[in-house]
Chains A and B, each alone.
Chain A
Amino acid sequence: MEKHYTNSQVKGVSTGTTILAATFDGGVVIGSDSRASIGGEYVSSKTINKVIQVHDRIFCCIAGSLADAQAVTKAAKFHLAFHSVQMETPPLVISAASVLKELCYKNKDELQAGFITAGWDRKKGAQVYVVSLGGMLVRQPITIGGSGSTYIYGYVDAKYKPDMSRDECLQFALNALSLAMGRDNVSGGVANLAVITEEGVEHVVVPGDKLPRFHDE
């Protein structure tokens, strides 16, 4: 009946989620919402974890088909652990990202999953990498993904500064996720965040009713 396409399955391959990762002075914040939905009509999980630890100081966020993403991260975890044992040193963030990229690129015809990899290593410090759907790998100071990300491009472009403090960056990430969840019907639930620094990893979970609130029309 409608002439224009509002169905996300026709519009593009990103499915219901909002994920982001941002570097700050000394570390990186990575986070996502927690909703899994079927076709945008049914919420199949309100508390799904999309921030997956692939090594001690390396996390990744998944977007796209959850089944594909989980399969790829499982394979990537294995490859990374093996690589780490062989090299006798903690893996580099770029290695984790490259492993994901190889899997995504070699199997691009079958897979529909994108990743944001963030972490800390001794060589380059805090880093964020994005592996897009076709298998492109790019490093960025900050990146956002998923269907909810379209609504916060403007906010992120305006508000992100490369050398924020840890607390500022955490607040910024929470604000961004909250704004996206407020506009995207397939993103929601709780905000799952991880703060990764040289010292370690801190998990922050903010339930829906404690999220930052903005002026409501």
Chain B
Amino acid sequence: MAATAAMVPIFGQQISSKNDLVPDWTSQEVSTGTTIMAVEYDGGVVIGADSRTTTGAYIANRVTDKLTPIHDRIFCCRSGSAADTQAIADVVTYQLGFHSIELDEPPLVETAANLFKASCYRYREELTAGILVAGWDRRKGGQVYCVPIGGMLVRQPVSVGGSGSTYIYGFMDSNYKPGLNKEQCLELTAAALSLAMERDGSSGGVIRLASISEDGVERRVILGNQLPKFSTH
């Protein structure tokens, strides 16, 4: 349900990446092979992502911000093709802003999620985008919606995505329980992302975290040397 590992576009690789004369990053699409995570708590959501963007084996950006604001209290976490997700996020930001002005009210998270789904589903053959939509609204509080590749929409209390997510399903299943508070969610997200970044070659850099609640958005960054450490073996 999350984006699968190693987003390799199948359209025309005329120059093989196995050819040492031509580095693979000249022909590979820019991908946010990544790890993203979002957790609901009572009163808001916590979202997190790594910061690596790759073109093949080259890290095009090692301090990427994959947590993109869509509205005041709604964010999205992007994984998959960097171009596709940026384009979709721009479109949804415009649509949601317009809708919010019409309504004269802050928009619902579910609305934002449905807008993502509409674009991802309609253009599913052309796009490679796995997105987590998370935010806070007055009606339902903190919510996390998962829009994986293909354009499904489902609400989940906790969700992970991106190529690195496969490595942390077990950790997430065993460590998440309903009723965590904000600090616990932040710790859980930081630990999970750290574990995934350790194992997934396409994830790395720094951990970007954000917590969204009625009071607003708080962002923080955990640098490489401050990452949670686990017993190495």
Contact = CB atoms under 8 A, between A and B. Distances in A.
Given A4-B4, A4-B128, A11-B4, A154 B231 contact: no
A207 interface: no
Interface of A is mostly: helix
B177 A215 contact: yes
A185 B191 CA distance: 26
A128 to B, nearest CB: 10
Interface in A3-48: 3-6, 11
A205 to B, nearest CB: 21
Interface in A149-166: 150-162
B169 A183 contact: yes
A179 interface: yes
B40 to A, nearest CB: 11
Contact of B176 (A5, A162, A215): A215
User: Chain B contact residues (Cβ within 8 angstroms of A): what range?
Assistant: 20 to 34
B199 A175 contact: no
Given A154-B170, A179-B173, A2 B150 contact: yes
B199 A154 contact: yes
Chain A CB within 10 Å, residue with most, of B158, B166, B170, B178: B170
A158 B171 contact: yes
Given A157-B198, A214-B174, A3 B166 contact: no
B87 interface: no
Interface string A177-197: 001101100000000000000
Interface in A92-147: 140-142
B171 to A, nearest CB: 4
Given A6-B4, A140-B233, A154-B196, A179 B170 contact: yes
Contact of B231 (A5, A150, A162): A162
Interface residues of A, number: 31
Given A153-B199, A154-B195, A217-B156, A3 B173 contact: no
Contact of B195 (A2, A4, A153, A175): A153
B158 A154 contact: no
B231 to A, nearest CB: 6
Interface string B152-176: 0000111000000011111111101
Interface of A: 2-6, 11, 140-142, 150-162, 175-176, 179-180, 182-183, 214-215, 217
19 contacts: A3-B125, A3-B128, A4-B128, A141-B233, A142-B233, A152-B170, A153-B168, A154-B167, A154-B169, A154-B170, A155-B170, A155-B173, A155-B174, A157-B199, A157-B230, A162-B233, A175-B174, A179-B170, A183-B169
Interface of B: 3-5, 7, 10, 125, 128, 149-150, 156-158, 166-174, 176-178, 191-192, 195-196, 198-199, 230-231, 233
